[in-house]
Amino acid sequence: MEYDIQRIESHWQKQWKENKVFSVDIDHSKPKFYCLEMFPYPSGNMHMGHVRNYSIGDAMARFQRLMGKNVLYPMGYDSFGMPAENAAKKEGGHPHNVTERNIAMIRTDQERMGYSYDWSRTFATSTPEYYRWNQEIFIKFYEAGLVERRFAPVNWCNDCDTVLANEQVKNNRCWRCGLEVVQKDMAQWFLRMTEYADELLDDLDHIDFPENVKAMQRNWIGRSHGAHIDFPIVGDDSVIGAFTTRPDTIFGVTFVTLSPEHPLCELLVAGSEYEAGWRDLRDECSKMSEFERINMLKEKKGVPLGRFAVNPLSGEKVPIYAGNFVVASYGTGAVMAVPGHDQRDYDFAKKYGLPIKPVLSRIDGEEAIEENPVLDSLGYMTNSSREGFDGLFGDDAKAAVIEILESEGAGHGTVQYRLKDWLLSRQRFWGTPIPMLHCDNCGVVPVPSQNLPVELPLDVKFSWGESGNPLASNDNFLFTDCPKCGGPARRETDTMDTFYDSSWYFLRYGDSNNKSTPFDREVIDYWMEGGIDLYIGGIEHAVMHLLYARFFTKATRDLGMNTVGEPFGQLVCQGMLNAPAPFCIECNTEYHIDNFDGECPSCSKALGTRQAKMSKSLGNTVSPGVMVDRYGADTVRLFILFGANPEAGMDWSDNAIVSNARQMQSLIEAFESSQNFSNSPNQIDDWVLARMRLNHSKWKIAMENVSLREGVMISHFDMLSDWQWYRRRGGSDANTRNIFFTNWIPMLAPATPHIAEEFWSKIGGQEMVSELIIRDVATFDDDITHLSKETYLRNLIDSSRNIKGLAQRHSETPISSCIIQTAPDWKNALASSAISLKSTDFDFKKNGQDYVKSLDIFSMTELRGEIFQTWQSLILGNKKNRGKIYTWSEGEKSLISSKFDETELINNNAEFIAKALSVDSVTSYKVGDGDDIAGKARVSSPLDPGISFL
RNA sequence: GCAGGUGUACCCGAGUGGUCAAAGGGGUCGGGCUCAAGUUCCGAUGUGUAGAACUUCGCAGGUUCGAAUCCUGCCUCCUGCACCA
C-alpha cells in the first residue's frame, strides 16, 4: 500500500470530529479516567516539548478508552500573561487579538497531531466566561478570610515611577533607564496559603508524585521545628524574639544578631555613636534585590549596636549586632548566635573578636572543645550554666530547654515555614482584574457577585511609550459607584498572578459550560474522585503550579465546592527534549548551532558536540510542523513514545525518526502482504497466536503503568517481528491472520491512531478503533508448549550457527550438512523424574544418590559415569549455574515431562533449519540411532542436543 | 552544605540474586532479493572456543555456593534548595 500520510491522517481526524467520538459525559456504568496535560500558554505554534507532553497523554487516554473507561481528556489555554501584552505593544494591537490568533495556531497544530481531546469542553482563561469565576472564587476566599491586603516590598524605579517585574531588573538597575532599583513597600493582595502549610506538607506522604517533586515541595514549604526565645534588652522594655532550631545550644549564646532592617535596630542605636555604622549597613543591604542578597553576598559583615541583651536562661549579658547575613523575612529576623556550634556565627565571632563558648560534646561526659569547623550536629549538653541539662542529647535536650523556657515565660516551642503567603497582585493589564473597589467612605469593598465579571476593557491602547498599567488611566474602568454606600469608588487596577488561573482549571473542565457556578459539586466529585488519574507536565512547575493547585483544591474543598483535597492522583513529569549543540569542553559551554564545526568564541578551541536541552537561544529546536509534514503525525508520535520512557530525558535524532518512519512502513507492509491469505492451516499458527496472547497481556500491564516505551515496543516492534517470523516459518492462514490482526490493531491505536483506524476499517471493523472496548485476551493452556517448542527451535538454530563457524575451522572442505543427536531416552527419563521429584519435597542431597542407584538403567555399568554426570547437571549444576531443574522455564519443564520428541520436531523443520544455517541438509536422530558424529553423543542432553557438522 | 536522582557494551537504553556476555533501538560490518537503489529481509557486533574458558554493568571492599542486581564506603554527573538560624 502506498502510505498516503496526509490523506489517511486528515480522513480519520475528520471522522473523529464529525462523529464526536471523544465527547464524554458522566456515566456511572463505567469507571472514570481523568487524563490531563498541563495546558499551554499560547505563544504561537506548538513546539516539541508540547508534542511529547500531549503524545504521552493521548496514548494513555486512548488506551484507557480501549480498557472501557469513561475518559475525560480536555484541553484549554492558559492565555493570560505578559508576552501577549508585549506582543501587543510591538504590533500596536490589543493582547486579546494576539491571544486569539495564537490560540488558533496552536489548536490547529494539536488537531493535526490527532490528539483525542473533548473539544466541547475547551476554554481560554483570558475570556470573561472563565475569569469571572476567578473573581467569584476570589470573593469567596475573601469572605472566608483567606484574602489579605497588606504592604510588601517590591522593586521600584523612581525615574520611571513604576513597579518593575523581577525580569526587568538587571544588575539592580532598571532595564529602561538604568537607574538603581530600590525596594519599596506597596499595598499588595495576598492569599493566605500559609494557613495550609502543614496540610500541604503532610499530604505529600500519601500522594503519588515523583520523589524529586515531593522533595522540592518539602523544601519549598520548609517547615522547621524549634523555639522562639525572648532576649530582654538591657536598659529597655523591649525584647528580641529570636527563632532557633537549636535550643539545645542556648547556653553557648555569646551575642545576638539582628537583620539590618529589623525595626529594633533603629530604636537601639538612635542618637548613639553606633547609628551611622548601622545606617550604612542597612542602606547597603536595602539596595540589593532579594536575588543579590541571597546569591551574591560573599562577605559576612556586621556592626555592633552598642547595646546588650540578656540570655533568659543563664542571665548572661551578650552584645547585640546587626549582620548582613540575617534574613529579615525568615523567622523573626533575629538570630541567637552560638559561635561554638554554628559555622556562620563562628566566622563572625572570629572576625569581630567575640567570645566562643562550646556547649556540646560528641561523647557524653567529655568537655566541649572549640574547634573549626564547628560541631554543628547534635551533641551532649555540657558546660550548661544551670543544673539538670548536662548530658542531655538531641531531641531530649531541645525539649528540656523548651520546657524551662515555657515555664519561665521566656519562650516557647514553635514551627517556622519558608513558605510565604501568595503575593497575588500584579501591576499588569493582561490578567484577571481583582474584583475589589476602593471607596472613600467604606474602604475596601468586594464587587457583588451579580456585578461580575469585572471585564478588562477592549478600548485600551498599547504602545512602548506608555508606562504603567493602562487600567489605571482608563476612566471608564476606573470609576464606579460603591455598592455599599452608593458613593464614588475606584476599582482596583491590579490584576491577578496568572498562576491563579491555572490553579483550578482542571476543576472547570469537568463542568466547563456551567453558566451559574464555577463547577457543579456533584459533577466535579464524579470526575475528581481519587484526583486526576493521570496528570502530565514539565518538572518546571514542580513547586509553583503544583503547589498552588494543591492549595486551591484544599481551599475550595473547605468552601464546600468539592470533596477531594488532593487534585492529582498520579503525576508524571516528562523529561527534557535534547538535541545536539556545539560545545566547548574547556569552557563547559554550549553555543548556538551556527557555531557547528567552528571554534569556541571565548577560547578559540575547536568545538565538539553535545546533547543540550532544546532551546531557542541555542537554536537546536526541531519544528513539529516540519516533521509532521515530512513523516506524518503517527511517525512523530511513535518516535516520541519509543524514544524514551516519559520521565526520562530524550535525545532528538534525525536518524531515529527516519528509522521510525521505516518501522511504520514495515507495519503497513506486514498488513498489506497478508490480505490475500486463504485458509491454509500450519503448525506455526498456534505459535503466533500464543505469542499474540502473551504480548497482549504484557502490553496491557506496561500501558497501565504508563511504561509507554515498553508498551510501544511490544505493540509496534515485538508484534511485528513475531508476525515476520510467522511468515518466515511458512505461516499464511487467513483465519490466523484475522485473529492476530483483530487483536493487534487496537494495540497500535494509542501511539499511532490514524494507521490503526485505517487498518481496522480495511479488515472490516464495524466501529472505529477509537470507539472500541477490548477485552482481556485469555491465554490457552497449551500456549506455553507452542511457545517453548518454537523457542527450542530458535535456540537450536542460534547455537548451531555459532558451532558451525567453529566447525568450519576444523573442516578441510566446506560444511554442507548438520547432524543433530538428541538425548537418549534414559536422559530424558532422568530429567523428567528429577522434575517431578522437585515438585515433591524430595531431599536431593540426602537421597539423591540412592535414588539414582535404584534405577533400572544403573545396572548398565558402562553408563554409570554418564548417569551420575547427567544427574549432577540436573540437580546441582556447576560453579556458575544451578542445576537445570532450577533453571528450566515452566515451558521447558512441561516439554520434558510431556515426552516431547525433539527428533521429530527437528526433522519436520529440517528444511527450514537448513536454510537458516545455509547448509544442504539437516538430519536428527536419537543418540545411538545413528553414527556418533564428532563425539557429540555424550554432550547431548534434554533440550540441548549434540550438534555436529560435516 | 542539604535533599532527590544518576552511572550498564561504540551511542541511547532495559535489566533488582542463578535461565545474563546482559532485551530493544541507533550506528557499524557482512549477506539475501535487485540492473541499481532501498520505505526491504537475514545475520554479526568483549576476547575466545566443535558449543569451553576468561574479562566486562562508576571505583573499592563485604554478604553469598553464586552479585549488574543485596550491604558498606568512595567518586562522577544531573536537578532542586540554601549564610534559613
Instruction: Output the pLDDT for position A364.
Output: 83
Give yes or no for CB of A220 within 7 Å of strand B: yes
**How many whole angstroms from its chain centre is CA A652?**
19
pLDDT at residue A64 in the model: 97
- CA A599 distance to own-chain centroid: 37
Which bases in strand B are touched by protein, i.e. have an atom under 7 Å from a CB?
3-5, 12-14, 18-19, 21, 23-27, 39-44, 49-51, 53-54, 65-66, 79-85
Nucleic acid strand B within 7 Å of A801 CB: yes
Residue range A374-433, pLDDT digits in tens: 888 888 898 888 888 888 888 888 999 999 999 999 999 998 888 888 888 888 899 999
Would you place residue A2 in the very low, low, confident or very high pLDDT band (cuts 50, 70, 90)? low
**Does at least one atom of strand B sit less than 7 Å from the CB of A886?**
yes
The whole-number pLDDT of residue A369 equals 85
Length of chain A: 950
Provide residues 506-535 of A with CB closer than 7 Å to any strand B atom.
Answer: none
CA of A417 to C1' of B45 (A): 57
Determine if the peptide bond prior to A453 is cis (ω within 30°).
yes
Report whether pLDDT(A947) > 50: yes
**Burial of A647 from C-beta contacts in 10 A (0-12 / 13-18 / 19+):** middle
Q: List residues bridging with A257 in a β-sheet.
A: A321, A335
Which set of grid coordinates corresponds to residue A792? 527450542
How far is A497 from A502, CA to CA, in rounded Å? 10
Give A669's contacts (C-beta < 8 A, 6+ positions apart). Answer: none
% residues pLDDT > 90 (chain A):
51
Q: How many CA atoms within 13 Å lie on the side-chain side of A661? A: 16
- The DSSP output letter for A656 is H
Q: Which of A237-246, A490-499, A617-626 has the lowest mean pLDDT?
A: A617-626
pLDDT of the residue at A477: 92
What kind and span of H or E run contains A270? none
Task: State the nucleotide closest to A333 in CA–C1' terms.
Answer: B85
Residue A465 pLDDT grade (very low, low, confident, very high; cuts 50, 70, 90)? low
CA gap A333, A885 in Å, rounded: 71
- Interatomic separation, CA of residue A804 and C1' of nucleotide B44, rounded (Å): 14
A906 CA to B49 C1', in Å? Answer: 26
Q: Residues A238-297: pLDDT tens digits? A: 899 999 999 999 999 999 999 888 888 988 888 899 999 999 888 887 766 555 555 555
Rounded Cα distance, A783 and A696, in Å: 13
The answer to whether the beta carbon of residue A747 comes closer than 7 angstroms to any atom of strand B is: no
A893 versus A175: the higher-pLDDT residue is A893
CB A99 within 8 A of CB A126: yes
Smallest CA–C1' separation from A809, nucleotide: B50
Give me the CA A9–C1' B34 separation in Å, rounded.
32
Enclosing H/E stretch for A501:
none
**Separation of A727 CA and B42 C1' (Å):** 13
Give me the numbers of helices (H) and strands (E) for chain A, helices first please.
32, 32
A11-65 tens-digit pLDDT: 999 999 999 999 999 999 999 999 999 999 998 899 888 999 999 999 999 999 9
Rounded Cα distance between A454 and A836, Å, is 81
pLDDT at A169 over 60: no
Distance, Å, A39 CA → B59 C1':
45
SS (H, E, C) A657-675: HHHHHHHHHHHHHHHHCCC
For position A466, what pLDDT does the model report? 64
Pair A788, A709: CB distance under 8 Å: no
Residue partners of A661: CB distance under 8 A and separation at least 6: A631, A632, A635
The Cα A744–Cα A765 span in angstroms is: 13
Q: What does the alpha-carbon distance between residue A57 and residue A432 come to, in Å, rounded to a whole number?
A: 29
Number of C-alpha atoms within 13 angstroms, CB side, residue A145? Answer: 3
User: What is the DSSP code (8-state) at residue A775?
Assistant: -
Round to whole Å and give the CA distance between A619 and A614: 8
Crossing angle, helix A633-643 and helix A48-66, to 10 degrees?
Answer: 90
Distance A794 CA to B22 C1' (A): 19
Cβ-contact A229, A405 below 8 angstroms:
yes
Average pLDDT over residues A634-662: 85
| pLDDT tens digits, A684-741 | 999 999 999 999 999 999 999 898 988 999 999 999 999 999 998 999 999 999 999 9
Asked whether strand B has any atom less than 7 Å from the CB of A939, the reply is yes
Q: Say yes or no: domain A224-416 is CATH 3.90.740.10.
A: yes
Q: What is A667-780's CATH number?
A: 1.10.730.10
A923 CB closer than 7 A to any strand B atom: no
Q: Report whether A251 contacts A313 (CB < 8 A).
A: yes
Closest residue by C-alpha to C1' distance, nucleotide B82 = A294
pLDDT, tens digit (0-9, with 9 covering 90-100), for A529-569: 999 999 999 888 888 899 999 999 999 999 999 999 999 99
CA-to-CA dists, residue A914 to A793, A918, A928, angstroms: 12, 6, 23
- The band of A585, judged by pLDDT with boundaries at 50, 70 and 90, is low
Strand B near-CB residues (< 7 Å), A 50-79: none
Are A821 and A940 in contact by the 8 Å Cβ rule? The answer is yes
In Å, what is the CA distance from A643 to each residue of A98, A350, A538, A651?
35, 56, 17, 8
Helices A95-112 & A48-66, crossing angle to 10 degrees? 50
ipTM: 0.92
Q: How far apart are CA A810 and CA A935, in angstroms?
A: 14
Measure A801 CA to B47 C1' (Å).
19
Which candidate, A749, A893, A825, places its Cα nearest to that of A21? Answer: A749
Express each pLDDT in A57-85 by its tens digit.
Answer: 999 999 999 999 999 999 999 999 888 88
Note whether A109 and A494 are within 8 A (CB): no
Q: Which residues contact A481 (CB under 8 A, 6 or more apart)?
A: A487, A488, A489
| Phi/psi at A898 (5° precision) | -90, 15
Q: Which residue has the higher pLDDT, A288 or A343?
A: A343
Cell (9 digits) for A808: 568450519
- Residue A107 grid cell: 489548536
Domain boundaries, chain A: 224-416, 577-637+648-658, 667-780, 790-949
